[in-house]
Amino acid sequence: MNDVNKLYELWLEKTADNAEIQKELLSIKGNEEEILDRFYRNLEFGTAGLRGVLGAGTNRMNTYTVCQATQGLADCLNGKYDSASVAIGYDSRINSDVFSKQCAEVLAANGIKAYIFPRLMPTPLLSFAVMRLKCQSGIVITASHNPSKYNGYKCYDPAGYQMTDEAALETYSFIQKVDMFKDIKRIPFDEGIEKGLIEYISDDLVEEFYSLVLQRPINPEIRRESDLKVIYSPLNGTGNIPVRTVLSRAGFKNVEVVPQQEMPDGTFPTCPYPNPEIKQVFECAIEMTKTDKADLLLATDPDCDRVGIAVLTGGEYVLLSGNDVGVLLAEYMLSARKEKGTLPENPLMTKSFVSTPLINLVAEKYGCKVVDVLTGFKYVGEFISKLEKKGEENRFVMGFEESYGYLIGTHARDKDAVAASLMICEMAAYYKSKGKTLVDVLNGIYDEFGNYVNKLYNFAFEGASGMVRMAEIMAQTRENPPKELAGLKVLKVHDFEASTVTDTETGAKTAIELPKSNVLAYSLPEGNFAIVRPSGTEPKIKVYITGCGKTRADAENRADLLGAAMKELIKIGE
């Protein structure tokens, strides 16, 4: 506690010229718990960069932590390149525009060219800019779908995907050497512009992105002729102009926008948790349908890399999961491209290993291989880059993760809700022309392959004590693997940190050919599965369940039983 209090006093002294930080620090004077929460650690820089609550302290997102990270990145780049450049993007969150300019000022002061978007842009556009401008890195200021009190700092590889473990560790080693009050170099933004060290990214690059997204129709006539009615919400984020632009240019004329959620607003007044995974974000859109029904409700998260949908079925709007949409896209894209003769030889899809195995069965029907990668879309981007080096990028059909992330094509190396929104609308229009809703199509897939129910349980652990508890839970679970879950025998234990799969009957171990990750997974009979891992971006433990059954009710029941068994296993609530 003494060290924490010393840090608190140091911040009081060194931030005297920052009225906002001073106000917060003085408001917690003498409050040991609040001081501890802000100073017990530094925000960790990992493969997801930084993410934290806005405010004062080393465990908060603020000018000092953002500039420290950028100075470390600059030192790392200058040690590797004679002339480096970095692309910078930002979303609608509180201080995102401020932090992005500060990043540019630090980079420019270190002799690194900073390309910055003149206005907020979706994350996939930043990924595209890194590749198109041949930058050595990229930064995007966003906290994705977190509540408004959060912001974050994502860092990119020269190939356009978020840094993987090795690059993040290398960058973090430089960040740790930076004294945030002594070592940060900065020049005024306008001076950087005048010296040519800071340059705004032109609209030509944005137009090129649109062009590439629009080049991938499977049924272009469906887009032009469809009467599909869509209500779209950018959730007060970056998707408003890009998504509406590509839908309009593709030929979708019947698109309305939720007015309360149209304009950028980092407070997210109508959706405190701006996450398209939850039905609450669709409430404003559903209200609009009381006077005029829409076929499809579409919502993108604040940085427009995730998209969720609700489908009109039987007079009600059914929210589809990320797994549901991934399976539907696989079925539509593979079947339609096969029919059109545009499916490549030996096609490939990627999915995060926590995503539904049902997509494997769908893909297999069309001769498409599904490659599992670790959670985090950077691994999808890395996979595409490896294909590109072999001249095989045309084999790639889609990348997918259950948390509503999709990449259609290879124009970006991150999930892209702009392109995904367009393909989802084409898919919905196509099936509407056949007299089907997306729910009808999904039920047909279940009839063919069996019912798969996927559930995600999130358990929050706030503050310093929460981080300790999360580590204890993972250690205890690893040391005491279950023999059965909800009456089902555990067939295999997958330990991604040890990189082994253990056959519980024979004890035989096989290697996992993926980077190490703090994840445990349990294979069960008949396709049932359970996975537990700590979140890489939030103070949460996540449990993923796959429940299988002949009927929907059977699969739902199995998933619920497995969820309860996993909760007991990791002793949540003790």
Closest CA to 156 of 128, 134, 127, 133: 127
For residue 25, CA distances in Å to 298, 453, 465, 476 come to 41, 47, 21, 37
Which residues 6+ apart lie within 8 Å of 95 measured at CB?
54, 61, 141, 151, 266
Annotated active-site residue 352? The verdict is: no
Tokens of 271: 């959706």
Q: Which of 127, 144, 226, 523 is catalytic?
A: 144
Tokens of 300: 């993108």
Determine the Cα–Cα distance for residues 537 and 531; give it in Å rounded to an integer: 17
What is residue 174's three-state secondary structure?
A: helix
pTM: 0.93
Query: HEC string of 308-371?
Result: EEEEEECCEEEECCHHHHHHHHHHHHHHHHHHHCCCCCCCEEEEECCCCCHHHHHHHHCCCEEE
The angle that helices 322-340 and 438-449 make with each other, rounded to 10 degrees, is 90
Return the pLDDT at 573.
46
Whether the Cβ atoms of residue 260 and residue 86 lie closer than 8 Å to each other: no
DSSP state of 103: H
Tell me how crowded residue 60 is: count the other CB atoms within 10 A of its CB. 19
Determine the Cα–Cα distance for residues 151 and 96; give it in Å rounded to an integer: 7
The angle that helices 96-109 and 63-78 make with each other, rounded to 10 degrees, is 40
**Digitized pLDDT (tens) for each residue of the chain, 574 residues in all:** 568 999 999 999 999 999 999 999 999 999 999 999 999 999 988 777 899 999 999 999 999 999 999 999 999 999 999 999 999 999 999 999 999 999 999 999 999 999 999 999 999 999 999 999 999 999 999 999 999 999 999 999 999 999 988 999 999 999 999 999 999 999 999 999 999 999 999 999 999 999 999 998 999 999 999 999 999 999 999 999 999 999 999 999 999 999 999 999 999 999 999 999 999 999 999 999 999 899 999 999 999 999 999 999 989 999 999 999 999 999 999 999 999 999 999 999 999 999 999 999 999 999 999 999 998 899 999 999 999 999 999 999 999 999 999 999 999 999 999 999 999 999 999 999 999 999 999 999 999 999 999 998 988 887 777 888 888 889 999 998 999 999 999 999 999 999 999 999 999 999 998 888 899 999 999 889 999 998 866 778 999 999 999 899 999 999 999 999 999 888 754 4
Q: Which helix (H) or strand (E) holds 229?
A: none
> What are the helix and strand counts (H, E) for the chain?
19, 24
What is residue 524's three-state secondary structure?
A: coil
Determine the Cα–Cα distance for residues 76 and 13; give it in Å rounded to an integer: 29
Determine the Cα–Cα distance for residues 99 and 180; give it in Å rounded to an integer: 15
Would you list the DSSP string of 259-314?
GGGTS--TT-TT-SS--TTSGGGGHHHHHHTTTS--SEEEEE-TTSSBEEEEEEET
DSSP state of 54: B
Determine the Cα–Cα distance for residues 248 and 464; give it in Å rounded to an integer: 48
Closest CA to 143 of 59, 236, 49: 49
First to last CA, the chain: 26
Return the pLDDT at 460.
84
Give burial (CB, 10 Å; 0-12/13-18/19+) of 185.
Answer: middle
Whether the Cβ atoms of residue 237 and residue 300 lie closer than 8 Å to each other: yes
Determine the Cα–Cα distance for residues 357 and 377; give it in Å rounded to an integer: 17
Tell me how crowded residue 446 is: count the other CB atoms within 10 A of its CB. 18
Closest CA to 424 of 246, 552, 284: 246
